[in-house]
Amino acid sequence: MGPGWRAASAALVGGSVAIFGGLRRATLAVPRPDAVRSRPGRAWRWRNLLVSFAHSVLAGLWALFSLWHSPELLSDIQDGYSVSGHLLVCFSSGYFIHDSLDIIFNHQSRSSWEYLVHHAMAISAFVSLIITGRFLVAAMLLLLVEVSNIFLTVRMLLKMSNVPSPALYEANKYVNLVMYFLFRLAPQSYLTWYFLRYVEVQGQGAFLTANLLLLDAMILMYFSRLLRSDFFPSLRKGSAGRDVDGEKFLID
């Protein structure tokens, strides 16, 4: 990648940050449920989740369509390249930067430190992909997770809203579990196997492999939380009476 293309990519990332900043301001006009209005500490979390939902819909469907439209990319995970994939990585990098700034500037770092760790990993990995132009297909596969995040975010919004229809939450609970397997666990498992078997553990390959393994640990931890919360509530510990105002966990 030449200097001109890198500068253009940086501009795209900056533009994405601005887009999500504007979207966050737009969420102020979205009506809030009574359960959110009655507890002001949840206002930030509600708006943040709405922005996260928008990113999940756009990035998840973008990744899915790009890979469906160009399936030949899957045959060259290390050096395969598409303009769509490059734009997607720039777009999502902007979201992760925006969300990190949103967390920090709104003094939510302590309750949302897991997100900050995840975003730091994603931003550093994506920047390396943008600079080198390599492993973009791996990033597209990883961003399939955003399809799963659509239903995960809906789950958290429903919990915050205290929606009176438990059937809606129950239906989403099972769809969320299926999507978790299809678009989070399956791509992550495949990429871990691929990196450990085919990618040289040096330079960028070593950096991305380390990121991937750390992400594996985080995903398994989140999956354990999800199962305990939605399917085995009797196994949850220390959650009774906990005030969740202002908190933003991947699984809550």
Q: Residue ranges of the domains in the chain? A: 3-28+41-229
Q: Does residue 118 contact residue 100 with C-beta atoms inside 8 Å? A: no
Name the DSSP letter for residue 185: I
pLDDT at 237: 59
Backbone CA torsion sign across 101, 30, 54, 47: positive
Name the DSSP letter for residue 250: S
pLDDT at 218: 95
Whole-angstrom distance, CA of residue 63 vs CA of residue 214: 22
pLDDT at 247: 43
What angle do helix axes 203-230 and 113-132 make, rounded to 10 degrees? Answer: 150
Residue entry with tokens 């009655």? 38
Contacts of 221 (CB under 8 A, 6+ apart): none
Backbone CA torsion sign across 237, 250, 103, 33: negative
The CA angle 33-36-37, to the nearest 5 degrees, is 85
Query: Would you give per-residue pLDDT tens digits along the chain (252 residues)?
Result: 556 778 899 999 999 999 999 999 999 999 998 889 888 778 999 999 999 999 999 999 999 999 999 999 999 999 999 999 999 999 999 999 999 999 999 999 998 999 999 999 999 999 999 999 999 999 999 999 999 999 999 999 999 888 767 889 999 999 999 999 999 999 999 999 999 999 998 999 999 999 999 999 999 999 999 999 999 987 765 543 344 443 444 444
CA 19 to chain CA mean position, Å: 17
Q: Does residue 212 contact residue 108 with C-beta atoms inside 8 Å? A: no
Q: How many Cα atoms are found within 13 Å in the side-chain-facing hemisphere of 13?
A: 19
Whole-angstrom distance, CA of residue 1 vs CA of residue 8: 11
